[in-house]
């Protein structure tokens, strides 16, 4: 991973987290000797977890804090500390930050809450904070955060001990709980951070800065993100796209429901967005999505500790049929394969399992207590065979299981206690533990015993993921495979908007100058055609005779539609007539449209496009996101079925191809019921054009192309709606 990280380079000299996570000296404002207060707890974490730099407690009354000289005011400090941490009432923070700025300190962590998240008064206080920080060139985390962890340098400014553990999973979180209160929970699971960053309100340094830092950090092999909302999704996408081809990123987003957005806003003031936009953003960025905090940790730790999965073939090795079957089933559900082993490999396996065991894959030892077979002999046979790419093991256990049996056995084995009894059976695990690294082979385990079992403890200590359920282990293996697929496509092509079209610019400008809130359908299609979008062949008619002449020129059958910038939905108003086969039908339709409109109106005469498959595309600008392109199932069921997907503009080739294949009805674009496969390249070009138009013409608020009919193989836009922002220039 280190060598691969050299393939991209971000300007970390400008990232304020570099100094913040590697300070030579720290001042702690609010550090006291009362261990029931946060200031004392965070001071203890810095002291007890082994920070090797200078520590300066700032307290108005205490002369020493946990053996360190305390100072009444920053002005008395012997030097300007590299980092200052604030843990005191909010109304004191601005003044003290100013004093540290005068002293020369340029980095701060503001643990204190009571700012933007509390309402208008707190918002004003946060503005003052930013003004003072800007005056002195101070960069800060928070307010309303829980600090940082850097296990590489024994730096922990959170409230909970980290100890001597050092790992490879980096985390940035908009919830402080997930990098501090969960530390004991993570220790039980054998999960260790490399770096962890709580961003709080993100008044200055945000989660994107943190992602950028972790992407370049050599200790960090995978990144976990807990997100309640993003201030700048476009920048997030740009940073993530540079990282994910070389380092896996997994994220949990919880702001996509009304309850989640409301809670996130009250907590950090973050701006949430609809879940479907974040789903598309993560896919576009090459980020794996977690749907629970447990999955965020589990998948992140797996990605941080296991070598790349080279294919989708997985072996399942188990001492019990049920969990092994569950593993195999989940693998198949997640797109992995559990192939039957060759006859030769099965014969080798049979030499080491009971006669009633299964050698085919899953390999089932059916309650076999010889851990040597389950941990070393069979795994090596499987790894060296070349028939699979990853290994799942269920039920590797010893002391935990024996201790659970002790109450029934103590009359026979003596009353020395469960620990003493189990200790008799501890065996050497070194060869088994080194085996996966010898073959550079992904290994994930599940066990119903935690760290009370010597095998769970040993494998966790060697940084192998051990899950408490077989399905969880299988899903973690799927995450390895999904990331291997991401590496093949993300970052391979750069999205670029098309050159701006002068005729298109003229169409937009004239409509805006006329005060139009939207383009009429004919103008909308001319705009699309300027960017290469295939549209139905058509012309405008201002009289029935003109309509008949156009229809004859186009060839029957034709479609007639009322055409005006004031019309957004025509079908239900009697303004659309389809399948017109002759001149008489055109005359009747023209008269009907005129009557329905109640006034003279231009009529659009279009060649009737035939096709049984309909899709749609378009663009919407969601606050904070910028232009988002949509693709999905088209026609009258678009809103009911909501089979669609979104991406931020502009779109790369890989973006559009993934959009096309990710909707639920994607199979209809393949060879389907005698119809040829749809032209996905042409469809992709339409999506890219929509993205380009939205960037090149920022006054356009929304685009709706529905339906796009697949005629034979080719997609053709037969209806188009383009609306403007408030209808003004």
Kindly provide the b/e burial profile for residues 405-432, where b requires at least 16 CB atoms within 10 angstroms of the residue's own CB: ebeeeeeeeeeeebeebbeeeeeebeeb
Task: Please state, for a pLDDT cut of 90, what percent of the chain lies above it.
Answer: 81
pTM of the model: 0.91
Q: pLDDT grade, residue 366 (50/70/90)?
A: confident
Q: How far apart are CA 174 and CA 230, in angstroms?
A: 10
Task: Quickly state the pLDDT bin for 10 (edges 50, 70, 90).
Answer: low
Measure the CA angle with vertex 212, ends 267 and 292; round to 5°: 45
**Could you tell me which CATH number the domain at 2-304 has?**
3.40.50.261
Whether residue 8 has pLDDT greater than 80: no
Q: Do the first three CATH levels of 2-304 and 307-489 match, i.e. the same topology? A: yes
Say which residue the tokens 């509390």 belong to: 118
Q: What is the mean pLDDT of the chain?
A: 91
What residue segments make up the domains of the chain, in order of their start?
Answer: 2-304, 307-489, 493-534+610-729, 537-608
Which tens digit of pLDDT belongs to each residue from 273-301?
A: 789 999 999 999 999 999 999 999 999 99
- Inter-CA distances, 269 with 228, 547, 726, Å: 9, 57, 28
Report pLDDT for 178: 96
pLDDT at 494: 82
122-133 pLDDT per residue, tens: 999 999 999 999
**Cβ partners under 8 Å of residue 714, min gap 6:** 534, 678, 679, 682
* Matching residue, tokens 């005629």: 711
H-helix or E-strand containing 88?
A: none
Assign domain 537-608 to its CATH architecture: 2-Layer Sandwich (3.30)
Per-residue pLDDT tens digits for 315-340: 999 998 999 999 999 999 999 999 99
Class of domain 307-489: alpha beta
- How is domain 493-534+610-729 classified at the CATH fold level? D-amino Acid Aminotransferase; Chain A, domain 1 (3.30.470)
pLDDT band at residue 449 using 50, 70 and 90 as cut-offs: very high
Residue among 696, 678, 727, 649 nearest 528 (CA): 696
* Cis amide linkage into residue 707, ω under 30° from 0: yes
- For residue range 589-632, list pLDDT tens digits in order: 999 999 998 888 899 999 999 999 999 999 999 888 889 999 99
Residue 214 token pair = 């972790």
pLDDT tens column, 484-533:
999 988 877 888 888 999 999 999 999 999 999 999 999 999 999 999 99
């Amino acid at each position: 991973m280190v060598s691969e990280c050299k393939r991209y380079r971000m300007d970390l000299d400008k990232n304020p987290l570099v100094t913040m996570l590697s300070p030579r000296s720290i001042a702690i404002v609010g550090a006291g000797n009362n261990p029931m207060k946060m200031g004392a707890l965070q001071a203890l974490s810095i002291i007890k977890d082994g920070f090797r730099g200078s520590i300066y407690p700032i307290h108005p009354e205490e002369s020493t804090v946990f053996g360190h000289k305390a100072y009444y005011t920053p002005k008395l400090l012997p030097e300007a500390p590299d980092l200052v941490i604030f843990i005191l009432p909010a109304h004191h923070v601005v003044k003290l930050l100013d004093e540290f700025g005068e002293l020369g300190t340029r980095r701060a962590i503001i643990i204190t809450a009571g700012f933007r998240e509390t309402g208008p008064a707190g918002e004003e206080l946060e503005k003052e904070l930013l003004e003072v920080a800007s005056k002195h060139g101070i960069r800060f985390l928070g307010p309303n955060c829980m600090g940082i962890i850097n296990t590489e340098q024994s730096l922990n400014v959170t409230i909970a001990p980290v100890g001597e553990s050092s790992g490879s999973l980096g985390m940035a979180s908009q919830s402080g709980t997930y990098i501090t209160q969960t530390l004991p929970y993570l220790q039980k699971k054998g999960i260790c951070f490399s770096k962890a960053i709580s961003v709080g309100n993100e008044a200055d340094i945000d989660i994107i800065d943190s992602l950028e830092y972790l992407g370049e950090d050599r200790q960090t092999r995978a990144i976990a993100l807990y997100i309640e909302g993003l201030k700048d999704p476009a920048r997030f996408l740009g940073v993530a796209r540079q990282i994910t081809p070389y380092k896996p990123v997994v994220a949990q987003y919880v702001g996509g429901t009304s309850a989640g957005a409301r809670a996130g806003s009250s907590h950090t003031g973050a701006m949430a967005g609809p879940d479907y936009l974040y789903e598309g953003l993560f896919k576009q960025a090459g980020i794996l999505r977690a749907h629970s905090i447990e999955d965020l940790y589990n998948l992140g730790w797996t990605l941080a500790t296991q070598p790349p999965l080279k294919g989708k073939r997985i072996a399942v090795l188990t001492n019990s049929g049920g969990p092994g079957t569950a593993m195999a089933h989940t693998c198949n559900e997640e797109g992995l394969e559990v192939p039957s082993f060759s006859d030769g490999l099965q014969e080798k396996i049979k030499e080491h399992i009971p006669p009633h065991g299964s050698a085919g894959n899953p390999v089932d030892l059916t309650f076999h207590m010889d851990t040597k077979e389950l941990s070393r002999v069979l795994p090596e046979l499987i790894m060296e065979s070349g028939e699979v790419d990853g290994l799942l093991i269920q039920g590797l256990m010893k002391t935990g299981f024996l201790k659970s049996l002790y109450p029934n056995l103590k009359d026979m084995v003596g009353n020395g206690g469960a620990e003493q009894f189990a200790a008799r059976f501890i065996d050497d695990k070194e060869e088994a533990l080194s085996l996966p690294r010898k073959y550079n082979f992904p290994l994930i385990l599940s066990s119903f015993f935690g760290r009370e079992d010597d095998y769970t403890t040993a494998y966790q200590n060697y940084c192998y993921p051990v899950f408490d359920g077989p399905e969880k282990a299988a899903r973690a293996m799927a995450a390895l495979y999904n990331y291997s697929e991401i590496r093949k496509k993300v970052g391979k092509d750069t999205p670029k908007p098309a050159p701006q079209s002068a005729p298109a610019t003229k169409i937009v400008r004239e409509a805006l100058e006329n005060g139009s809130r939207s383009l009429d359908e004919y103008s909308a299609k001319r705009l699309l055609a300027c960017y290469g979008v295939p549209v139905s062949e058509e012309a405008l008619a201002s009289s029935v005779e003109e309509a008949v002449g156009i229809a004859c020129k186009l060839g029957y059958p034709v479609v007639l539609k009322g055409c005006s910038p004031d019309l957004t939905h025509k079908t239900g108003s009697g303004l659309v007539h389809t399948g017109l086969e002759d001149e008489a039908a055109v005359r009747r339709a023209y008269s009907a449209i005129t009557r329905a409109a109640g006034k003279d109106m231009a009529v659009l005469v279009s060649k009737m496009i035939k096709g049984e498959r309909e899709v749609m595309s378009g663009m919407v600008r969601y606050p904070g996101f910028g232009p988002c392109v949509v693709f999905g199932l088209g026609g009258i069921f678009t809103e009911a079925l909501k089979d669609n997907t979104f991406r931020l503009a502009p779109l790369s080739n890989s973006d559009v191809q993934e959009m096309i294949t990710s909707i639920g009805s994607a199979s209809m674009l393949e060879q389907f019921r005698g119809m040829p496969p749809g032209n996905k390249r042409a469809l992709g070009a339409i999506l890219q054009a929509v993205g380009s138009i939205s960037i090149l013409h920022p006054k356009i608020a929304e685009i709706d192309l529905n339906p796009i009919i697949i005629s034979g193989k080719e997609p053709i836009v037969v209806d188009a709606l383009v609306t403007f922002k408030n209808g003004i220039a």
